[in-house]
Copies of this chain bind each other. A is one copy, B any other.
Amino acid sequence: MPKTIRFHETGGADVLKIEDLPLTEPGKGEVRLKVEAIGLNRAEIMFRQGKYLDIPVLPSRLGYEASGIVDAVGPGTSSIQIGDRVSTIPAFSMREYGVYGESAIVPDYAVTYYPNNLSAVEGASIWMQYLTVFGALIELGQLKKDDSVLITAASSSVGLAAIQITKAAGALAIATTRGADKKQFLLDAGADHVIVTDKEDLAKAAMTITSGKGASIIFDAVAGPLLEKLADAAASGAIIFEYGALSPAPTIFPLFSSLKKGLTLRGYTLFEITGDAEKLARGKQYVYDSLQSGVLKPIIDCTFPLDAIAKAHLYMESNQQKGKIVVTV
A binding-site residues for B, Cβ under 8 Å? 53, 223, 227, 242-243, 245, 250-269, 272
Q: Is the CB of B257 within 8 A of A267?
A: yes
Chain B residues in 8 Å Cβ range of A263: 266-267
Partner of A264, one of B243, B257, B260, B265: B265
Q: Is the CB of B269 within 8 A of A262?
A: yes
Q: Is the CB of B259 within 8 A of A243?
A: yes
Chain B residues in 8 Å Cβ range of A255: 223, 242, 245, 251, 267
Cα A165 to Cα B42 with chains together (Å):
44
Cα A245 to Cα B242 with chains together (Å):
22
Q: Is the CB of B264 within 8 A of A264?
A: yes
Chain B residues in 8 Å Cβ range of A251: 252-253, 255
* Minimal Cβ-Cβ distance residue in B for A271: B262
Chain B residues in 8 Å Cβ range of A252: 250-253
Cα A204 to Cα B272 with chains together (Å):
25
Chain B residues in 8 Å Cβ range of A245: 255-256, 259
Chain B residues in 8 Å Cβ range of A260: 53, 267, 269
Cα A258 to Cα B242 with chains together (Å):
8
Q: Is the CB of A267 within 8 A of B258?
A: yes
* Minimal Cβ-Cβ distance residue in B for A237: B272
Cα A268 to Cα B264 with chains together (Å):
9
Closest chain B CB from A251 CB (angstroms) = 4
Q: Is the CB of A242 within 8 A of B259?
A: yes
Chain B residues in 8 Å Cβ range of A265: 253, 258, 264-267
Chain B residues in 8 Å Cβ range of A268: 259, 262
| Given A223-B255, A242-B258, 9 new contacts (CB under 8 A) | A245-B256, A251-B252, A257-B267, A258-B267, A260-B267, A262-B272, A264-B264, A264-B265, A265-B267
* Minimal Cβ-Cβ distance residue in B for A223: B255
Cα A223 to Cα B259 with chains together (Å):
11
Chain B residues in 8 Å Cβ range of A258: 242, 265-267
Closest chain B CB from A247 CB (angstroms) = 9
Cα A295 to Cα B213 with chains together (Å):
41
Cα A252 to Cα B260 with chains together (Å):
18
Closest chain B CB from A223 CB (angstroms) = 5
* Minimal Cβ-Cβ distance residue in B for A51: B256
Cα A253 to Cα B263 with chains together (Å):
14
Chain B residues in 8 Å Cβ range of A223: 253, 255
Cα A254 to Cα B251 with chains together (Å):
8
* Minimal Cβ-Cβ distance residue in B for A264: B266
Most central of A223, A242, A243, A267 by chain B CB within 10 Å: A267
Closest chain B CB from A262 CB (angstroms) = 5
Q: Is the CB of A269 within 8 A of B259?
A: yes
Chain B residues in 8 Å Cβ range of A257: 267
Closest chain B CB from A215 CB (angstroms) = 16
* Minimal Cβ-Cβ distance residue in B for A268: B262
Cα A288 to Cα B53 with chains together (Å):
47
Report, nearest first, the 7 A-B pairs whose CB atoms are least far apart.
A258-B267, A251-B253, A253-B253, A265-B265, A259-B267, A263-B267, A251-B255
